[in-house]
């Protein structure tokens, strides 16, 4: 079947790229400990017991341990009021052992997530969701960049050293993925179009893309007829769908089997964007630990 393989898109191996970044973050953390006596620390606030959030927080704690980053977990009952959460954030802002504060979303519906995020010290906002960091991102200034979007750009950079002039289409305009990805692509000198649920003829716009980032959260929305031949496709979507023969499986926004025959390079789901998020969180925590102390960014963690 060698002939068939030749015409298939290259797989972008998020697992391998994330593993390399995690090692770089661990090495930078070790150097910080040796030369400045600083152990970077990441605090996670988890309110209630959303099962997906529990898994994420557990994985994050393990990744921190492996990278030599101290991990602090703050679990609060689902009925905790906004005032108590804000008090905890204030305590963590003032705690010098804590370099990064992660507010695990979603918060219970009674809590104004924006009010909590706005209270986090922007210098410790390793999720990059604070309005100050959002402003830095759109102004093209140094700040803390949201983890999944940052991971997406790293995957793209593994394929394209220079993104200047590329026609990039972002499918989705959420605060956590679509918008920050668009800002990063713009900063990389792409020509950027954002497609959303009100866009007329999304397929025709996506077909123009040299680079397509699909973050709509709709399983297999993007078929082969949405793709320009040779495009680089980053599939951010994660949906759980029924599997043939019973049970469920994870699916991306892109019809992978069909797209692989048209695209030049593509990320799988799982194993593409997913592993990059925690790796970028570790990177952000080490960067925050350095910047808060007036130290320059470790060379290995620079863009
Ligand atoms: P979201 O907040 O639900 O946003 C989805 C966006 O897609 C919205 O802007 C929506 O448009 C747009 N959209 C929905 N259906 C569309 C359609 N048929 N045509 C065009 N646009 C459409 O989702 P999100 O938080 O950004 O996440 C997107 C996906 O990425 C989800 O599957 C999520 O699980 C996944 N994700 C993965 C990671 C990771 O791998 N680490 C991290 C975060 C998210 P409107 O704004 O007009 O409603």
Task: List the strands of the sheet with 70-76, edge to edge.
Answer: 70-76, 41-47, 100-103
Is the pLDDT confidence value at 70 over 60? yes
Does any ligand 1 atom lie closer than 6 A to the CB of residue 239? yes
Global confidence as pTM: 0.97
Predicted pLDDT of residue 303 = 87
Is the pLDDT confidence value at 5 over 50? no
Predicted pLDDT of residue 277 = 97
Predicted pLDDT of residue 1 = 43
Is residue 26 a contact partner of residue 67, using CB atoms and an 8 Å limit? yes
Alpha-carbon distances of 57 from 73, 241, 281, rounded to whole Å = 8, 24, 12
Kindly report the average pLDDT of the chain as a whole number: 96
Write b or e for each residue in 85-107: b if 16 or more Cβ atoms lie within 10 A of its Cβ, otherwise e: beebbeebbeeeebbbbbbbeeb
The predicted-structure confidence for 259-279, as pLDDT tens digits, reads as follows: 999 999 999 999 999 999 999
State which of 175, 197, 198, 209 you would mutate to test the pocket of ligand 1, scoring each by most atoms of that ligand within 8 A of its C-beta.
Answer: 197
Predicted pLDDT of residue 4 = 46
The predicted-structure confidence for 141-174, as pLDDT tens digits, reads as follows: 999 999 999 999 999 999 999 999 999 999 999 9
Is the pLDDT confidence value at 185 over 60? yes
Is residue 267 a contact partner of residue 273, using CB atoms and an 8 Å limit? yes
Q: Grade residue 3 by pLDDT with cuts at 50, 70 and 90.
A: very low
Atom of ligand 1 nearest to the CA of 272: 40
CA dihedral 159, 163, 165, 170 (to 10 degrees): 80
State which of 217, 222, 276 you would mutate to test the pocket of ligand 1, scoring each by most atoms of that ligand within 8 A of its C-beta.
Answer: 217
Q: Residue 92: CB partners within 8 Å, gap ≥ 6?
A: 43, 45, 72, 74, 98, 101, 124
Alpha-carbon distances of 195 from 25, 134, 166, rounded to whole Å = 34, 20, 16
Predicted pLDDT of residue 231 = 98
The arithmetic mean of pLDDT across residues 132-136, rounded, is 98
Q: Is 23 a catalytic residue?
A: no
């Amino acid at each position: 079947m060698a002939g068939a393989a030749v015409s298939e898109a290259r797989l972008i191996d998020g697992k391998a790229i994330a593993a390399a970044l995690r090692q770089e973050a661990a090495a930078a953390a070790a150097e910080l400990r040796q030369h400045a006596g600083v152990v970077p620390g990441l605090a996670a606030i988890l309110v209630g017991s959303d099962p997906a959030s529990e898994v994420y927080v557990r994985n994050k704690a393990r990744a921190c341990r492996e990278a030599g980053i101290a991990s602090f977990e703050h679990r609060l009952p689902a009925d905790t009021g906004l005032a108590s959460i804000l008090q905890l954030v204030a305590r963590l802002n003032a705690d010098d052992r804590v370099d990064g504060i992660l507010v695990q979303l979603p918060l219970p519906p009674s809590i104004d997530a924006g009010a909590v995020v706005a209270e986090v010290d922007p210098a410790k906002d390793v999720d990059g969701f604070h309005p100050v960091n959002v402003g830095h991102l759109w102004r093209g200034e140094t700040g803390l960049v949201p983890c999944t979007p940052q991971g997406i750009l790293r995957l793209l950079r593994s394929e394209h050293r220079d993104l200047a002039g590329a026609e990039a289409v972002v499918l989705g305009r959420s605060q956590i993925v679509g918008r920050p990805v668009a800002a990063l692509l713009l900063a990389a000198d792409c020509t950027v179009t954002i497609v959303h649920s009100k866009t007329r003829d999304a397929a025709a716009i996506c077909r123009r893309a040299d680079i397509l980032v699909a973050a709509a959260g709709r399983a297999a929305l993007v078929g082969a007829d949405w793709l320009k031949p040779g495009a680089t496709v980053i599939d951010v979507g994660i949906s759980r769908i029924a599997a043939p023969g019973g049970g469920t499986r994870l699916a991306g926004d892109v019809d992978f089997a069909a797209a692989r025959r048209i695209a030049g390079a593509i990320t799988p789901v799982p194993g593409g964007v997913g592993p990059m998020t925690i790796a970028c969180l570790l990177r952000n925590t080490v960067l925050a630990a350095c910047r808060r102390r007036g130290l320059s960014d470790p060379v290995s963690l620079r863009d």
